[in-house]
Structure 1
C-alpha cells in the first residue's frame, strides 16, 4: 500500500486524501480480518493482506483498480448488493455467498460470508463501500461431501444384492453433481477375467467412454486406466475434456480431471472393482479432494462388500438346505441299501450261533464279536432311516392302545442286567395308568431304549431310575441318573441332530449324536416333547411327555370318552421288546474289559514264531477292538491293554512299552491327550505312538502327525496293514536310536579332532624351534660325528612333522579368516532372527554401546553366538529374558591375565535370566565333553567351541553365574588397530 503510486488512480496522491479515507484505510490495514474498501464512483479498491489471499492471482493488479473489473465474473451477484448499500446507507450481511471466481487459472466455486457497509467522506456523504469477508468454501464443500458419504452409509447395511447396491449408489451420487459430475462403477466378473460396467452417472449410457467391459489380461483400449486401478493404483487422468462431449457440472465448465481407484482389496485380496469419478471442474484436486474420493470409494466398497456377503450367505444357506435335503435322501437310500447285506450277514450268523457250542473258544468269541457289531450296525442304520423318514415327512406312526406302564416296565427290564453288571443300582417305578395310551409301540420302544442307553453310558456310579407317571393332561416318562451331568448351555442343543457334548465323561467316546435327537422327534410325532434338567456332577433327568389324546384318532382299537377300552384292560396284550438286543450288545462292551482282556493281563508272543518281539500297549475304549488287536499282535509281540488314556499312563508308569497303539476318541483322556502327555515327559517322549481313528481323510492324518504321532492308521484296516505298520515303526525307532548314538559318537570324534588339532599345533611350534636349532648347529660344525648326530636329529624332526601333518589332516581344522566387523550391526541383524526362533515367553533384548569394529572371523562369531543363545534358551524353560550387550572392555582380573595390555578389546556379554549354575559347574563349563544335559541331548562341546573361538581370535571368554539368578558369558574380542 505504501509503495503503490496512488497518484495514478482516481483518488490521487495520499497527501491529498480526505481524513475519512485515511482513517478508513488505516482501520483496514491494521485489521487481521479480510477487508476491502471501494472509494468513489470509480470503485477504487483498497484492501489488506488477508483479503489479498482471498483473491489469489488477481493480486496485486487489483490494488487501486476498479472492483467492477477485478471481480467482473462475480459482479452480477456483488453489484446489486453494493449499490443497495451505497444508495440506502444500510449495511448488509450475507452468509455462504456463492461466487465463481477466476483466481487460480480456472473458474472456482467459492463461498464467502460477507458484510457490506457504507463508507462516508469528510462531509458525511456516502462515497464508498467497506466490506468484511471470510471464506467458508472448505466448510460448505466439506458438509456437502459428508452428506453424500452419510447417504451412502445409510444404505450400506440395507442392500441385499450387488445390482441393487450399484443402483442405489448411483442414485445417491446423482444427487451431488457439484462434487461428482460423473461416475462409472465397474465390478470384476465372477470369472475374474473381465471388469464389467454396472452403473453410470452423468454420462449417457451410449457414450463411447462408457465401455461396457474391459478384459483385464489383454492390451486393448482402456481410457479410464481400469487395469492399473485393478492392480491397486489410484489413477489420475488429466485433460479428459478433450474426449467428453458433455459439461461437468451446473455452470457449464468441462471436467478436466478424472480419478480411477480400486474398490476394496486393500489388505483383503484383489479389488472387487473400480470406481471412476469425474472431479468438479470448479474445485482443485488437492489433498482434501483426494481424501474425499478415497472415502467415497471406501464407502461404496463397504456397501458392495455387505451385499456380496449377504449374497454369499444366502447361497450358503441355499446350499446347506440343498445339502441337508440331499443328506436326508442319502441317509434314506444308504440305510435301505445297508439293510439287505446286514440281513444276509446277521441271518446266517444267528443260524450259526446255536451250532457254535462245539467250536473252539477263540472261534466262538470271534463269532459273537461279529454278531454284536452286526447288531450295532443294524441299530445305527435303523436310526438313520428313522431320521430320514421323519425329515422327509414320511414317518407314519401306527398308533395302538397300549398299557404303557406294563410295556415300559418290560422294556426297562431288558436293561437291568447290563446296568447292574456295571455296578449301578436300577429302579423302575411305572404306576398303573388310569387309561390306555395310544402310541406307536415301535417308536415308544426306541424312546425308552435310547434314554436308558444314554443313562448307562454317562453314569459311572450311583443309580438309574425309570418313572412313568400320569399327569392331568397326559403321561410323563422320566429317566434319571446320577451321572456326569450336562452344562446349562448344552441343555437345548443336546437334542440337536448329531450334536455331542465333547466335554462329557462317559464309558466310551463312541456315538453318533442321533439317539436323543431321535427321542425328541419321536415324542413330537406323538404330540409330545422331550426336555432335560441336569446339574454338572450330580446327574440328569430326561422327561418325555405325551398327551392323553396322542394318536387316539388313529388308534386301531376304539377308546371311549372316559379313556377306557371296550374290553377289560387286562385283556389288552402287552407287546414285548424287539430291539433291546442291539442296545444291550453295544452297552455290554462299553469301557469294561472282556474276559479275554482283564486289566492286569499282558499277552506274550509264541516262542519260536520268528516274531521281532517287543511290548505293545493297545489303548481303546471298545473291548471288541482291544480283543481283536490283541489277537492280531499277540503271536509276535507282548501286548498290554488299556481302556483310555488315563489307564494307559498308569500302565506305562509300571512298564515302559516299545510302542503305543491308541484310538483317538476315548473317554477321560483321548488319544491326542495321551500323545501330549507322553511327548511332554522326558522319560516317555521317545516312545513311538501309532494313532487309530475312524476319521478318514488327509486332514485327519496330517492333524495326527502334526500332534507328534509317528503314524496314523485309518479304520477299517486290514490285519496285514496293522502288523506291517507296527513292525515298521518299531524298526524305525531302533534305527533312530542307533542314529542318535552314532551322532553322539561323531560329535565326540569331532571334538577329539579339535583337541588333536591343538596338540598338532603345539607340536609344530616345537618342531620349528628344533629344526632351526639343528640347522644353525649344522652350519657351524664340520665334525663328521656331530654332523651324523645332526642328520639323525633332522630325520626324527621330519618324521615328527609328517606325523603332525597327518594329525592336522585328521582334525581337518581350518584357519580363521579374521576381518574387520561392526559387531553392533551384526547383532542387530542376527538377534531378531534368533528371537523369532525362540518361544514367545523368551524376550530377546539388545543393549549396544559405542564400540569400534572388531577383528574376528564372521562365521565363527555367528556360530559362537548361536551356541550361547541355545544354551540360554535351554536354561529358561519357563521363559525369561536374553540380552546381548556390547561395551568397550575394561581389563580387570581375571580376564586381564589372558589379554594383551597393549591392545583394545570389546566385551560382548550374553546375559540370561535362567536357572543359573553352581560354582562346581561354572569351573568346568568350558571343558570339552562336559555337559549337564541328559544323555543324547548334548555333546558338551558348544561352550568349549565358544572358548576356543575367543582364544583363537586373540581374546578370551569368561562366565559368571548364580543358581536361580541367571548366567553372564563375556567374550573379549580384539579391536581393529
Structure 2
C-alpha cells in the first residue's frame, strides 16, 4: 500500500534542478524565463529599492514571483509596507503607459488616480491579513495621458512573510472593460429597435428614438436629433435626450446657409461624421449624463435618407469624457444613427401608406357619392321613360307589329337599366351606412319558393330542370323582403347564366340555429384559383363559357353585403366543369338584428315586379342560342366566292352584300339587323365561336362583331379570321362600349378595319359599313382585273 501511495505521489517525474541541493533562497533560478518582465526584473538594480538585492529577498517573495512569472493571467505583486510593484507580461496591458516605470514603484505612486478606490482594499489585505474580491469594478485610470473608463474583476490576497505576518499581497486581474461597454451598447441598439418598431409617424420615430438614447447615458451623455427640410434649406429640432430643448446649445431651427456652432451644413452635404471639441469653452454647462464630468467633445452624425425621397437628419451626441473617440466608438454611434434612420424610414413608409389609404378611401367615398347621386339622377329620367313606354304598350291595338316590337325593346332595356341603377344605388347606400332595412317575421320557405318559380319558364325553355325544395320551417326567420328578393334572384340569375344544360336546384333547410339557402347548378363551374375572389366587387372570371358576357360583376358582391346585413354568411363551392353551389346561412330569430329595424308581420306583397325583370332578362339570353345563327338562307356555294363583291356564282344571279353580325345581346342583334336589312343581307349570331363557324358556310362580305362576348370574344374572332388566308382580307368592324382613343387604337392594331363605339346612330353605322364594303370591292376588282 505504501508503494502505491509513493507511485501516486511521484506521478510527475522530478526535473534535474529539483533534485539539486541548491535552494531558491541562494539561487536566481526563480527569475528564469518570464518573457519581457522576467528580463526586466533580472536586470533591474533592486538594491536601489526598499526590496534590496535579489539575493537577499525572502523565500516567500521568491516563491510568489516565480508563480507570477509563469502565469498567463495578469498578476502583480506588492511587497513590503510600501507595496513595491512587480508584474508579469500579461499585466503590461493593464499598466499601459505607466510601463516600464511602474516596475519597482510603490503601488500608491503607480495607481495614484485610483488610490481612493484600491488603497482601502489593499490596507485590508496587508494590515488585516484578509483577502478582498471585486467583480467588474469601475476604475477611472490615467494610463495614456487621459482618464479612461475601465472595469476589472480582481482579488487582493495576503502573502505570508518568512518571519511571520504579511509580507505582501498578490493580485490576479481580469479586464472586463470591453464586455461591459459592449453589453450596454448592444442593449441600447436593441432598445432603440424595439421602442421605435411601432412608430407610425416621423415625429413619433424621432421622439421614441430620443427617449431610447437615455438608456445609455454613459456613452451618450446628451443627444439632439434634427430633421432636414431640403425645400426650406434648414434643420429643425425633432427630439432631445439628457438635455433640455431650451438649452442655449439646442437651437430649434437652423438655416443651412448660416454659420452655426454645430456643423449642420457640412454633415448634411458630405454625409460624414464631424467632431466638435472644446465644449468646455461654450457658455452654459452641458449635462454630465451618467458621469460627474461634462463632455468636452461631441460627435455630429448624418442620418442618411432612405431612397431619393427619404427623410434626412442630423444626430448630435455628447461623447463619453472617459473614452477615446476611436473606431469602435465611432462605429457604435454610426449604428445608432443607422437604426434611427431605419425607424424614420419605416415610419415614413407607414405614413405614406396611410396617406395613400386615406386618399383611396376618399376616392372611394367620392365614387360612392357619385354612384349615389348618378343613380338618383338616372331614376328620374328612367321613370319618365318607363311611364310613357308602359302606357304605349297598354294600347296594343293601336300599334303595328313593328312599333310594338320596338317599344318592347325599349321597355326591356329600360327595365334592365333600372335594375343596374338600383344595384349601384344599393351599393352606395351600404357603403355610406344609409341602408334602411326592415326585418319582418317571414314564411321564408313560401317566399323563397315563389321567387325561384319565377325562373321556371326561362330554365325549362333552355331545356333544363328547375328543382325547388323549400319545405316549411319550424322557426321564424326575420328578413328584409326586398333584400331577400335580391339575394335569391341574383343567385338564380347567376346560376342560369353559367348553366347550359342539366338542372338548377333551390333548397331551404333549417340547420340548428341557422337556416340555409342553397342554390346548386350543373353549370360550367369556377376555377379553384378564382373562388376566393367570387364576392369581390366588379370581379369577373375571364374566359368562362356562359350565355352572355354582359354583366357588371356586382351581383354576387351585392348578395354578400345584403347577407351580412342579416347577420349571415355566404359561401361557394365549385368544381370546374361540373357546377357550383352557393350557400347562404342566416341566424334564426331576431336577437342578432338591430331592435329599431325589426317590424311586425304583414302580408307578403307580390314579387312579380322585381322577379319579372330578372326572368325576362334570362329569357332574352335564350334568343338566338338554339342554333348556329339566326335565319341563314339555304344557299349552295360552289367555292367560287369573290370576296368583297357580295356575289355567289350561281348561274348569273347576284345578291345583296352579306353582313354577319355577332353580339350576345339579343336586342342589339335585332336593332342592328333592322338598321341594315334594307341594304344588306344580314345574319346574326350570339358569339364569336358561332360566327367563326358561320363564316365558313355563309361567306359574308363583312363581319360586324361586338368585342365582349362569351365563348369567343371579338378580338379572338378577329385573330382567327386574320390567320386564315381565305378570310384575311375580309372587312371587320369592331363594336364596343369601351370609348377612348386607347380602345380604338387597340382595335385597329389588332387588325380591325374600323372601331365603332356604342352608342352609335344609324347614319354612322350605315356610312361606315358602306364605305368599307366599297373599299373591299375596289380591292377585289383590282385583284381580279
What's the TM-score once normalised by structure 2's chain length?
0.72
Q: 2:599 is matched with which residue: 541, 551, 554?
A: 554
Question: CA separation in 1, counterparts of 2:133 and 2:748?
Answer: 78
**Taking structure 1 as reference, are residues 198 and 470 closer, same or farther at Cα in structure 2, changes over 3 Å only?**
closer
Structure 1: 5+ residue stretches without partners: 558-571, 609-613, 734-977
**CA offsets per residue over residues 768-824 of structure 1, 9 Å max, x none?**
xxxxxxxxxxxxxxxxxxxxxxxxxxxxxxxxxxxxxxxxxxxxxxxxxxxxxxxxx
Deviations 1:301-357 (A, max 9, x none): 454455555555655665566555544433322111111222344445556667899
Aligned residue number for residue 63 of structure 1? 103
What is residue 184 of structure 1 aligned with on the other side?
A: 224
- Which residue of the partner structure matches residue 296 of structure 1? 336
In the aligned structure 1, how far is the partner of 2:269 from the partner of 2:720?
50
Partner of 1:531: 570
Pick from 51, 55, 76: which aligns with 2:91?
Answer: 51
Kindly indicate whether the alpha-carbon contact (under 8 Å) linking 1:339 and 1:381 is maintained by their aligned counterparts in 2. yes
The whole-number CA distance in structure 1 between the counterparts of 2:113 and 2:733 is 89
Alpha-carbon distance, 1:78 to partner: 1.4
| Change in 2 beyond 3 A, CA 1:643/1:228 | farther
1:569-591 deviation digits (Å, cap 9, x = unpaired): xxx78625113443245434548
Alignment of 1:419-458 (within 5 A): 419-429=459-469, 442-458=482-498
Q: Does the CA contact (< 8 Å) of 1:672 and 1:707 recur in 2? A: no
Aligned to 2:581: 540
After superposition, residues 255-274 of structure 1 pair within 5 angstroms as 255-262=296-303, 265=306, 269-274=309-314
Cross-structure match for 1:252: 293
1:577 aligns with 2:608: yes
Counterpart check, 1:84 vs 2:124: yes
Shift of 1:457: 1.4
Residue 718 of structure 1: how far off its partner (Å): 5.0
C-alpha spacing 1:598/1:680, structure 2 compared with 1 (3 Å)? closer
> For 2:701 and 2:327, how far apart are their aligned partners in 1?
72
**Contact map agreement 2:113 2:140 (CA 8 A) in 1:** yes
Partner of 2:618: 587
Q: What does 1:194-273 correspond to in 2, within 5 Å?
A: 194-215=234-255, 218-227=256-265, 229-230=267-268, 233-239=271-277, 241=279, 242-243=281-282, 245-246=285-286, 248-249=288-289, 250-262=291-303, 265=306, 269-273=309-313
- Structure 1 residues 173 and 344: CA distance shift in structure 2, 3 A: same
Q: Is the 8 A contact 2:84 2:104 kept in 1?
A: yes
Output aligned runs, 1:793-872, within 5 Å.
none
* Distance verdict in 2 for CA 1:189–1:406, change over 3 Å: same
Q: What are the within-5 Å matches in structure 2 for residues 401-800 of structure 1?
A: 411-429=451-469, 442-467=482-507, 478-485=518-525, 494-495=534-535, 497-498=537-538, 500=540, 505-519=545-559, 522=562, 529=568, 531-532=570-571, 534-536=573-575, 537-543=578-584, 554-555=599-600, 575=606, 577-590=608-621, 593=624, 598=629, 621-622=664-665, 667=710, 716=758, 718=760
Distance 1:616 1:573 in 2: 51
Write the distance in 2 (CA, Å) between the matches of 1:730 and 1:185. Answer: 76
1:39 aligns with: 79
The 1:475/1:9 distance shift into structure 2, 3 A limit, reads closer
Give yes or no for contact 2:293–2:321 (8 Å, CA) kept in 1. Answer: no
When residues 194 and 601 of structure 1 are mapped into structure 2, their CA distance, relative to the original with a 3 A threshold, is farther
Q: What do you get for the CA RMSD once the two structures are aligned?
A: 5.5
* Structure 2 CA distance for aligned equivalents of residues 59 and 122 of structure 1: 30
Offset at residue 252 of structure 1 (A): 0.7
1:131 to 171, 178, 183: 171
**Would you say the 8 A contact 1:500–1:513 is kept in 2?**
yes
The one of 132, 149, 161 aligned to 1:109: 149
Summarize the Cα distance change of 1:585–1:573 in structure 2 as closer, same or farther, 3 Å threshold. closer
Q: CA deviation at 1:689?
A: 10
TM, length-normalised to structure 1: 0.59
| Residue aligning to 2:112 | 72
The residue number in structure 2 matching 1:143 is 183
Q: Tell me what 2:31 maps to.
A: none
Looking at structure 2, the residues matched to 214 and 724 of structure 1 have their Cα atoms a distance apart, in angstroms, of 72
Aligned to 1:93: 133
Provide closer, same or farther for how the CA distance between residues 642 and 575 of structure 1 changes in structure 2, counting only shifts above 3 A.
closer
Separation in 1, partners of 2:518, 2:627: 37
User: Matched residues in 1 for 2:430 and 2:672: separation?
Assistant: 39
Aligned match of 1:958: none
Cα offset, 1:532, TM superposition: 4.2
* C-alpha distance after superposition, 1:393-426 (max 9, x if no partner): 5444578898876765554444333323333222
- Taking the aligned partners of 1:129 and 1:706, their CA distance within structure 2 comes to 102
Instruction: Measure how far apart 1:372 and its partner are.
Output: 3.8
Report if aligned partners of 1:427, 1:466 keep a CA contact under 8 Å in 2: yes
* In structure 2, C-alpha distance between the alignment counterparts of 1:683 and 1:222, rounded to whole Å: 83
Larger mean CA deviation between 25-34 and 424-433 belongs to 424-433
**Cα 1:622/1:105, change in 2 over 3 Å:** farther
Question: Greater shift after overlay, 300-309 or 449-458?
Answer: 300-309
Give the secondary structure class of the aligned counterpart of 1:55: helix
Q: Which has the higher contact order (CA 8 A, sep 6+)?
A: 2
Instruction: Tell me if structure 1 keeps the 8 A contact 2:476–2:588.
Output: no
Q: State the match for 2:651 in structure 1.
A: none
8 Å contact 1:102–1:108 — kept in the other structure? yes
1:173-226: CA deviations, max 9, x gaps? 2232102111112235697865421211122322333121345xx512354444
Gaps of 5+ in 2: 1-36, 634-640, 648-656, 777-785
Worse overlay, 62-71 or 295-304:
295-304
Please say which of residues 635-644 and 333-342 is displaced more in the overlay. 635-644
Counterparts in 2 of 1:467 and 1:596: CA distance versus 1, 3 Å: closer
Q: Say whether the 8 Å CA contact 2:629–2:685 is kept in structure 1.
A: no
Choose 472-481 or 2-11, whichever is displaced more.
Answer: 472-481
What is the alpha-carbon distance in structure 2 between the residues aligned to residue 624 and residue 519 of structure 1?
Answer: 27
Matched residue, 2:379: 339
CA 342–67 in structure 1, closer or farther in 2 if over 3 Å, else same: same
* Higher alpha-carbon deviation: 622-631 or 62-71: 622-631
Post-superposition Cα deviations, 1:435-489, rounded to whole Å, max 9, x if no partner, equal: 9999765445434422321111122221123446789989765433222445789
- CA distance in structure 2 between the aligned counterparts of 1:59 and 1:686, rounded to whole angstroms: 101
CA offsets 1:488-539 (integer angstroms, 9 cap, x no match) = 89778655655555686543343334333444555666x5746345332333
